Amino acid sequence: MPRPHRYAQIKQLLHQSGAAAYRYQQVTQAYFAQRTARFEEMGALPAALRQQLASQLGSGFSLRVAQVSHSGQADKYLFELQDGQRIETVAMRYRAGWHSYCLSTQAGCGMACRFCATAAMGLRRNLSADEICDQALFFRQRGFPLDSLSFMGMGEALANPNLFTALDCLTDPNLFGLSPRRLTVSTIGLPNAIERLSRQHPQVNLTFSLHSPFEDQRSQLIPLNLRHSLTEVMACLDAHVQRTHRKVYLAYLLLEGVNDSREHAAALAQLVQAPGRCSRLYHINLLRHNANDFAAERYARPAEAHIQRFRQWLQEAQVKVTVRSSFGDEIQAACGQLHAAVNPLRA
């Protein structure tokens, strides 16, 4: 049974200790309006209550900044957790003034995708709901708007059941109060958890990391495909689309000479337009590969002209497609490059 998030524990503790109901509001106001995360600093509470909260729930915040790297529109934060594990969070600023954050859900990852730096760490552990939410709280308390959050940092988000508790917390109007439409969960394809997301958080955006339309090749790139085939996951996504009427994004990481041929584009179009599939609600996001020193295999990014050609092949086949911009790769903050625990950053 996943542990409740901090705010639910605070509410329960206050209730058990006979505190007046408004004390809970004072705590949440301290977190979300007065930007205080430590119980000892919550001056509106009586000292005895502050001490009781601190002694039973710890300091009130689960992360500490170990290092920050800056690069143009992206900043990468290396956070240390209370047991010494390290995770990375990327903050991005778009030119239109939009602030977007890429949060980690696990320390490391056990999914062993061949192109990914995080995979080389193995799975250290799942993050708690508080450790996930505190990455967002860190920026909120510094006055930055949380315009969008994606769970695409370290870890397979849907392999961690605490993600669901974190989503409850982030969308709770009395806490973070974020619209679910500003949240995006990314997965390499865990059908049971996708089904749970459809039921519990139907408005949260879903991105499926596809990377090859061919089962054999996808299994080589993403070993999980041997357990949950592309066919099985696509059927699950179809059910999600039917239930939620929401668009599903298919992330496709272009790897030179591996999955960027005309044959791949044609098979991708066929996959999206398979009979019975609601193709208008599938949108392919083409991603530029970011080189890293840790992944199991070295892959190259196709030339820009070829990336555009691949996009055009899909467009000619009437597939909805976007080439996503990539930033942060020079500080190893881009997709697939996060590798905190064994590669501490240089400031």
Give catalytic residue positions.
88, 335
**Is residue 341 a contact point for ligand SF4 (CB under 6 A)?**
no
3-state SS, 232-252, equals HHHHHHHHHHHHHCCCEEEEE
Restricted to residues 108-147, the positions that interact with ligand SF4 (CB under 6 A) are: 109, 111, 113, 116, 118-119
CA triple 259-294-66, angle to 5 deg: 125
Q: How far is the CB of 13 from ligand SF4 (least distance, A)?
A: 35
**Is residue 155 a contact point for ligand SF4 (CB under 6 A)?**
yes
**Is residue 156 a contact point for ligand SF4 (CB under 6 A)?**
yes
Region binding ligand SF4 by CB under 6 A among candidate stretches 56-64, 142-150, 151-159, 268-276: 151-159
Q: Quick one: 49 or 111, whose CB is closer to ligand SF4?
A: 111
Q: How far is the CB of 197 from ligand SF4 (least distance, A)?
A: 16
If binding means CB under 6 A, how many residues of this protein chain bind ligand SF4? 11
CB of 159 closer than 8 Å to CB of 124: no
What is the Cα–Cα distance from 166 to 322, expressed in whole angstroms?
A: 29
Q: Quick one: 41 or 232, whose CB is closer to ligand SF4?
A: 232
Amino acid (1-letter code) at residue 252: Y
Region binding ligand SF4 by CB under 6 A among candidate stretches 21-29, 105-113, 263-271, 322-330: 105-113
Q: Quick one: 222 or 314, whose CB is closer to ligand SF4?
A: 222
Restricted to residues 173-202, the positions that interact with ligand SF4 (CB under 6 A) are: 188
CB of 326 closer than 8 Å to CB of 335: yes
Q: Quick one: 120 or 269, whose CB is closer to ligand SF4?
A: 120
Q: How far is the CB of 254 from ligand SF4 (least distance, A)?
A: 15
Instruction: Tell me the DSSP string of 180-238.
Output: GGGEEEEES--HHHHHHHHHH-TTSEEEEE---SSHHHHHHH-GGGGTS-HHHHHHHHH
List the end-to-end C-alpha distance of the chain, in Å, as a whole number.
39
What is the Cα–Cα distance from 178 to 288, expressed in whole angstroms?
A: 29
Q: How far is the CB of 118 from ligand SF4 (least distance, A)?
A: 4
Q: How far is the CB of 236 from ligand SF4 (least distance, A)?
A: 17
Instruction: Tell me the DSSP string of 96-155.
Output: TS-EEEE---EEE-SS--TT-TGGGG-EEEEPPHHHHHHHHHHHHHTT----EEEE-SSS
Region binding ligand SF4 by CB under 6 A among candidate stretches 69-77, 152-160, 296-304, 320-328: 152-160
Residues near ligand SF4 (CB under 6 A) are: 109, 111, 113, 116, 118-119, 154-156, 188, 336
